[in-house]
Amino acid sequence: MNNSPLITASLKKIPNNDLTGLLKKPFIWREAVSHCFCSQCQTLGEINLDHARGLIRTMRILGNLPEATLETPADLAKYYFITGYCETCGIGPVSVKIKKIGEN
């Protein structure tokens, strides 16, 4: 099973860095439950439930698991993950955060 994110956009190519606009669009990937944004290479991808659970596990290990309830796809769709690196840029700082869509 392929749990790689579906890369949907590079923020470098988006006018005004309108990440929120992209996050509010419907998912393209049938399996997608949330988005993951790489702060290093600025790519945005859609992630499935297994991938989201992996990121939540990493947040737990890093000790920055948020108060947010992230149990169901409906919960996850309200948030996006921000990682320190991704499969596109390969290596970087291990960090995972979540943000609610529309909040700065």
Q: What share of the chain is helix, strand, coil (3-state, %, to 5)?
A: 30, 25, 45
- Report d(CA 68, CA 12) in Å as an integer: 29
Does residue 98 contact residue 82 with C-beta atoms inside 8 Å?
yes
Give the shortest CB-51-to-Zn ion separation in angstroms. 14
Residue 22 sits in the site that holds Zn ion (CB under 5 A): no
| Segment interacting with Zn ion, rule: CB under 5 A, options 32-40, 50-58, 61-69, 72-80 | 32-40
Residue 86 sits in the site that holds Zn ion (CB under 5 A): yes
Give the binding site for Zn ion (CB under 5 A). Answer: 38, 40-41, 86, 88-89
